[in-house]
Amino acid sequence: MSNQVHDVVAEIAARILRIPTLETRRSNSLDFYDCAVWSIREALIAAYQAGQASRQ
The DSSP 8-state label assigned to residue 14 in this structure reads: H
Q: What is the pLDDT of residue 56?
A: 83
Question: For position 29, what pLDDT does the model report?
Answer: 93
Q: Which residues, other chains included, contact 18 with Cβ-Cβ below 8 Å and sequence gap of 6+?
A: 33, 39
Q: Which structural domain, as residue segments, surrounds residue 16?
A: 3-55
Q: Are 16 and 33 in contact (CB under 8 A)?
A: no
**Whole-angstrom Cα distance, residue 26 to residue 8?**
23
pLDDT tens digits, one per residue of 1-54? 789 999 999 999 999 999 999 999 999 999 999 999 999 999 999 999 999 999
Alpha-carbon dihedral angle through residues 44, 19, 4, 56, given to the nearest 10 degrees: 20
Looking at the 3D structure of the chain, how many domains does it have? 1
Q: What is the per-residue pLDDT for 1?
A: 77
pLDDT at residue 33 in the model: 96
The pTM (predicted TM-score) of the whole model is 0.87
